[in-house]
Structure 1
């Protein structure tokens, strides 16, 4: 190529500044979204792991390192020395150093000390004895009491002098709840049995209030902060108190003189701030190492050969990993779909740029430009715009989401930027591989697909079928092939539609030619002359519509699953229940509450015993008319009210029962004894899987009018209404009643950050995919605007009216838009039906709580199919109409310049 007076890149950017700005905006947006996705996933996965550990409570998550009481082989002085704070503190530091990463210990909530393994009975008569049994105490000398409690009265315990196993009296503190429950005051003395010595006198010098009773320092040992009323084994079920006395750390050697079997311990509470979802495997390995691995060996070297480590943190991590494993595949489907659409749009932008500059690049090749040199210059021209834009997009993503792994975000943004840089030179190299002055027609009706393309398309179809079959058999998993199944189906459908597209155009061209007007025939001819490169816009549209339909159906299925589970758990829109019969005026007060449409009064006997009195079956007494209306409105076990009215054979009451109850007792009359001692005879006449009044697989429902005494009075009210006012219901209900709202129950199923975060990311991914689809449509339409404008100008000089021009552009655009809309809706419907056997929404819908629900399988959501498809058609028609209107305003002079070669 000959030298040019100005550099290529600067000249080209100055020649088309609008195109450069549009490319920069597209790359920045794509890089930002690509970088934000892994950061957002890390963010909600980290929050979900922290929530899981917090909900598990410290008694399960703390690593408790314990060593047995030093044995007789050691001298008494040596045994006492092992229990002193200096020795324990030094060992605590060494134990912390032995914990492997990424497990991080929260030093503020971790501690160490000595406690008795066996509870010690206190003989003091002034201590409460509910059943005549003396209370039992655990004694603990735990480090850090002064930093985790406030002295309410008295002072903290001290150790005067050097305490030994023979010390007769020590000081202790108790929590305020322990003092209140066991009537302990400052100055009280509790005597604990000794081992080969007189009882140890423990004088209470202070009553303290914990700063954080739920923190690991207090909550790891259940009795440390709160006493417990324990039921003794045996038929008498006697009760006695259990509590803890807190000694000064220096007083720990005194426990060697008791019968409590003193044990050393080091409590290691995991730091919630240091938990990361992507480190779960390494965290489990670290916990396993501490429990029974190299870390435990190092801990034993520093403490004692008898040291053991116990924790349920590994079980908590496994449960979280299982929950995350059920959520990740569904999010991956949306990510792959949106990523594919974004990649297609970037490729399409490069392809349209190459198509727009086809004549320029062909001329350069004809004048001797090498293919490598041409591609290199185009790459540099694009990189000058795309690289800064990609960096800006990455920076925005990092600022918007400050937490999460940076490496994954940088990789995703770099991939999107590299694809944008390579799209134009690769497309130009493919088109201008052979030097030619004039190319042949590239219409979809004239271009025949090559053998290579046919083989590639057939291979893709086979891969798509394999992915669908794999997902149907194995279900959604972390396998990338199964996550790509909806995308592959959409791509295969797009390639099929591109092949089918010319057939209706050819079939309609001849009939349209015989019509009186020229607009119909001309629009079909123009649609048939659409470039064969329209496969990329169609691919983007179908992939986006398939992903949107699949994603919308997933989100709708999740909402329906939660709503159904909440309805089955409550039985109605609200439920008011108490253990005793309700006041006679309560139903009327509830009816007057805002939002209440209707209610059903129910008396429930949960301990009713049929026939042989060996098992209980909940029995609900209802008003047949009210209850039948309730079942019809809720859709739970609907029945005809006449089935429960009147009498059956003899005095037997007709009853509605669950399949399990009907199988156990048959259809013959059998007696049932109620909780108040009365008996009735029932006969099962209706069988339903579920009923609103009682949850579970066993129940009986009878006419309440046939019951007598307390059993006939309602104990529950099932309320229905579109907008039930929860606070008003609670004000109207008695204080002893339990008020449940369907809305609150539904919200409780989505309280995990893993669920809510996944749903937000899923929604954003689907919305981004639809946005890219619209962008692809606009790009394809904007590319043809100059050509269409010139066509309208020329046709107006031949007598075409503005109305005919609008119809021409709209009818010309409709075939592709209608094909994309219909094909996308059909592909989305087929994808959902093909993949629904392998998709289970239970995990993402009811992850934190397993609620009662019939079926959470994926099913078609009509709005998710219809709305995106309709939007495609509306955008296409709108752009064509606006173009025709704008061209009509400008007039034809500007478009018919001399020498215009468009």
Structure 2
């Protein structure tokens, strides 16, 4: 008990030192426990957000039976209800991981489209086709505004009762009580009675995510085209229609939502296996695997990056613990030497330190472990970390005893003399560290890694390189200072000379190494974050090289002028993009090459629109050229250009655009171009303004000359735009979409052109929207957490290491200052002396760390899989002027902190006593 009381007294006597050790042990345990837990929580949250923002088609797994006549002969059988009960059976047959991930499910049965007639429709001269659909559960997802729901029993000779959405009924002049006739779907005519009109409780309910939609009527594309609608009926009503021989289709839809990141791989494999081997007689429709695989790749890359950052953080904290232990052991050298002088064993000081450390460090580590487990997250995030906390606590506890054993200098001896030569052990250790860093870097570049994988070698390379760089800098650091000392010796005044002389002594080796590792970690986070942001900008620019893209099928050429008349739009330019086109020779004979994507742009217009929108787009000179005799110059992908050269078609080749043969020649090559999807590696970009006379495909005579896009029946022939790029600010996206739809309508109804099938609605994509989609949701929360923690932690730990560097030589400087103050040194001169002494050391450490942080991404980026965060665009690491500003700001803060720490320390030590009691003169 007396021994324990003595340990407690000593801990209280050196409370500041043990408090620092305890706090560092707590931080280490908190990082080991809290970082994986937080990362797991952010990954799960990102998965929920990623899945929730996907369209229904990318969340649903649909099993569909072939559309066949399911009845006939007038015999009514409960077919619909029987097939509906297969929801349970089919779900039980799904792969295990997929079955567990099912969140919601629906059964749907519907007939083929059939003609719908009746007095109310004839009154407005409406031509309507409809599907009869039974969807159990729909009554709970809608409220009636008129009438009732269809009856569950249909008597012989009774009409099929249906309910219509309010929007459908209003547009088609229908109401509860309307009598109709359903015919033309392959069976006998069926009488239909509208008994109810409803509104959905929530339009986003999954039961409505079917095509065609039951909530709205599809407008006709042109004259003689029908309205398309869906009428909801009961199981019995659909059975009555089936009994007449109407073709029917059954589908079972399962929405995946109960997903865990750990099970994503099994879910993806299960879905793909089900698609390859569907249940008998059914077809599988799904687009679930693509977004889940994208998210899994992004999470893997984020976790790899977080592991690299965490390794730097843990190494920094470990270095700080070693520095704190060395500083505490050095302050008590006289005490330990006195123990030995009084007959104690050489290890008596270490045993005393161990007893004191056991009293402080393990409880602090336990508290850090507890705080880490209290952070929001799941227990899966802390699985396997308890033993790491135990190891960290043991090592932190042993740090002080080992530092006591390793302190071999006599009490009060000088450790900062520049003439000291490094011992053989230290040189061997330094050479080993440098050799390991070089070897690890060589191996990681030579061996390679699977993108997104976490590898011990990968996470150790940044720390090894930072430590090796710090060791080399410390070896080179005194030489330029000695030369500077010779210059300072010839200068008037003693402040510069004494400061440079103090700076040339390598007394702060440990703190410098820790500062370099910490700053390298923070700089690495900043450089990689900047590279990802730049990659996202390039991806957004590739998709939308302007303020917005109005995309459709074929738009009337005057759509550009209509767009420019909208508020906020300053400029527009046409674009034509078609895929899966064949390349022919000059005679029009297929060249036998694989299909290509062709992009037609107005080169000068694209450059001006992009510049007006503030988007960085480089338009090659070949696309700015005007019309000249011969084939149009083209920008071609390198692989396709090589194929054309081997086929002898690089001088003249043909592609057919919208029925017009366009000759071109290879004038330049490029790996990519805006509006060409990143996964397309065979493309041709043609300048619209340089096109020769368009030639109708299959004809030997050229068509009329066109100076731009043409419109059917307008007297101007040639290809017409499929999209328009616009530049502007503050425009209304819906107004752009309406202008695009109107342009499609004008094209389909203009001149002598006969409308084909209904075009899809125009789509508007803004540059800001494309950029926000890349930077929001998914695994980006995990990525932001890693960057924020790495940058903030690296900066804070680096400043703490600077404080250790100041404290390491504080007693020696205090003795010198005591003497110089008696010789007339003022406080201002003393601060100048301290700044001159510390500035080279701080500058060397910060610059080395910043340089390593900037170089590390060049070595590690290929192995980190960062393209998962940029939409497939490779992340290019480039010099950032902001890094220089950050280093200068960090240097200023570090020097201010150093002066503050030195001032506080001198006041605590009382310089008069240092001068009187100091033995180091």
Please give the range of the TM-score, normalised by the shorter of the 2 chains: 0.7 to 0.9
Equivalent residue of 1:843, what SS?
A: helix
**1:707-746 equivalent positions in 2, closer than 5 A:** 707=707, 719=727, 724-726=729-731, 742-746=767-771
**1:435-514 equivalent positions in 2, closer than 5 A:** 442-443=415-416, 445-450=420-425, 453=429, 456-457=432-433, 460-470=436-446, 477-504=453-480
Runs of 5+ consecutive residues of structure 1 not aligned to the other structure: none
Contact 2:302 2:782 survives alignment (8 Å)? no
Which residue of the partner structure matches residue 429 of structure 1? 402
- Larger mean CA deviation between 326-335 and 537-546 belongs to 326-335
Which residue of the partner structure matches residue 518 of structure 2? 544
Which residue of the partner structure matches residue 265 of structure 2? 281
Find the partner of 1:856 among 853, 875, 900. Answer: 875
> How far apart in 2 are the matches of 1:524 and 1:196?
99
The alignment status of 1:333 with 2:308, answered yes or no, reads: yes
**1:28-427 equivalent positions in 2, closer than 5 A:** 28-64=26-62, 84=81, 92=88, 100=96, 104=100, 109-112=104-107, 115-116=109-110, 119=112, 121-122=114-115, 124=117, 135=129, 137-140=131-134, 142-160=135-153, 169-180=159-170, 184-189=174-179, 201-219=191-209, 222-226=212-216, 243-249=229-235, 254=240, 257-260=243-246, 267-270=253-256, 272=257, 274-284=258-268, 311-364=286-339, 378-379=353-354, 381-382=356-357, 384-387=359-362, 389-390=364-365, 393=368, 401-402=375-376, 404-409=377-382, 415=388, 419=392, 422-423=395-396, 425-427=398-400
> How far apart in 2 are the matches of 1:128 and 1:510?
103
> How far apart in 1 are the matches of 2:862 and 2:520?
17
Contact 1:31 1:413 survives alignment (8 Å)? no
> How far apart in 2 are the matches of 1:191 and 1:725?
50
State the Cα distance separating 1:280 from its structure 2 match: 1.6
Which residue of the partner structure matches residue 561 of structure 1? 535
State the Cα distance separating 1:583 from its structure 2 match: 9.3
> How far apart in 2 are the matches of 1:209 and 1:786?
82
> How far apart in 2 are the matches of 1:17 and 1:393?
19
- 1:213-245 CA distance string (max 9 Å, x none): 3332232565454555799xxxx9995666544
**Counterparts in 2 of 1:891 and 1:486: CA distance versus 1, 3 Å:** closer
State the Cα distance separating 1:15 from its structure 2 match: 1.0
Contact 1:470 1:482 survives alignment (8 Å)? no
Contact 1:379 1:421 survives alignment (8 Å)? no
State the Cα distance separating 1:775 from its structure 2 match: 1.4
Contact 2:512 2:805 survives alignment (8 Å)? no
State the Cα distance separating 1:424 from its structure 2 match: 5.2
Contact 2:24 2:317 survives alignment (8 Å)? no
- 1:423-462 CA distance string (max 9 Å, x none): 3533423542799976976557333141762574255224
State the Cα distance separating 1:773 from its structure 2 match: 1.3
> How far apart in 2 are the matches of 1:872 and 1:691?
40
> How far apart in 2 are the matches of 1:219 and 1:328?
34
State the Cα distance separating 1:150 from its structure 2 match: 1.0
State the Cα distance separating 1:358 from its structure 2 match: 3.2
**Counterparts in 2 of 1:467 and 1:708: CA distance versus 1, 3 Å:** closer
Equivalent residue of 2:163, what SS?
A: strand
**Counterparts in 2 of 1:251 and 1:837: CA distance versus 1, 3 Å:** closer
**Counterparts in 2 of 1:338 and 1:470: CA distance versus 1, 3 Å:** farther
- 1:225-281 CA distance string (max 9 Å, x none): 4555799xxxx99956665443335667546634356677654433x3x32223323
State the Cα distance separating 1:156 from its structure 2 match: 1.0
Contact 1:658 1:688 survives alignment (8 Å)? yes
**Counterparts in 2 of 1:745 and 1:505: CA distance versus 1, 3 Å:** same
**Counterparts in 2 of 1:825 and 1:307: CA distance versus 1, 3 Å:** closer
Equivalent residue of 2:151, what SS?
A: coil
Contact 2:264 2:296 survives alignment (8 Å)? yes
Which residue of the partner structure matches residue 821 of structure 1? 846
- 1:282-324 CA distance string (max 9 Å, x none): 444666798899xx9xxx9xxxx97887655445433332333
Contact 2:162 2:192 survives alignment (8 Å)? yes
Contact 1:227 1:243 survives alignment (8 Å)? yes
TM-score (norm 2): 0.74
Find the partner of 1:772 among 797, 805, 820. Answer: 797
Which residue of the partner structure matches residue 619 of structure 2? 637
> How far apart in 1 are the matches of 2:528 and 2:275?
41
TM-score (norm 1): 0.75
Which residue of the partner structure matches residue 888 of structure 2? 870
Find the partner of 1:698 among 665, 685, 688. Answer: 685
- Larger mean CA deviation between 467-476 and 555-564 belongs to 467-476
> How far apart in 2 are the matches of 1:620 and 1:567?
17
Equivalent residue of 2:775, what SS?
A: coil
> How far apart in 2 are the matches of 1:69 and 1:671?
42
Equivalent residue of 1:571, what SS?
A: coil
> How far apart in 2 are the matches of 1:751 and 1:815?
42
**Counterparts in 2 of 1:111 and 1:600: CA distance versus 1, 3 Å:** closer
Equivalent residue of 1:547, what SS?
A: helix
Equivalent residue of 1:658, what SS?
A: strand
- 1:538-576 CA distance string (max 9 Å, x none): 222222222233222211112222333334444345679
> How far apart in 2 are the matches of 1:683 and 1:68?
48
**Counterparts in 2 of 1:689 and 1:837: CA distance versus 1, 3 Å:** closer
Equivalent residue of 1:269, what SS?
A: strand
> How far apart in 2 are the matches of 1:135 and 1:626?
47
State the Cα distance separating 1:769 from its structure 2 match: 1.5
Contact 2:77 2:243 survives alignment (8 Å)? no
- C-alpha RMSD of the superposition: 5.8
Find the partner of 2:600 among 618, 625, 632. Answer: 618
Contact 2:150 2:234 survives alignment (8 Å)? yes
> How far apart in 1 are the matches of 2:862 and 2:389?
34
**Counterparts in 2 of 1:619 and 1:797: CA distance versus 1, 3 Å:** closer
Find the partner of 2:635 among 658, 661, 672. Answer: 658
> How far apart in 1 are the matches of 2:650 and 2:68?
69
State the Cα distance separating 1:700 from its structure 2 match: 0.8
Equivalent residue of 1:698, what SS?
A: strand
- Larger mean CA deviation between 810-819 and 692-701 belongs to 692-701
> How far apart in 1 are the matches of 2:385 and 2:822?
52
> How far apart in 2 are the matches of 1:409 and 1:306?
46
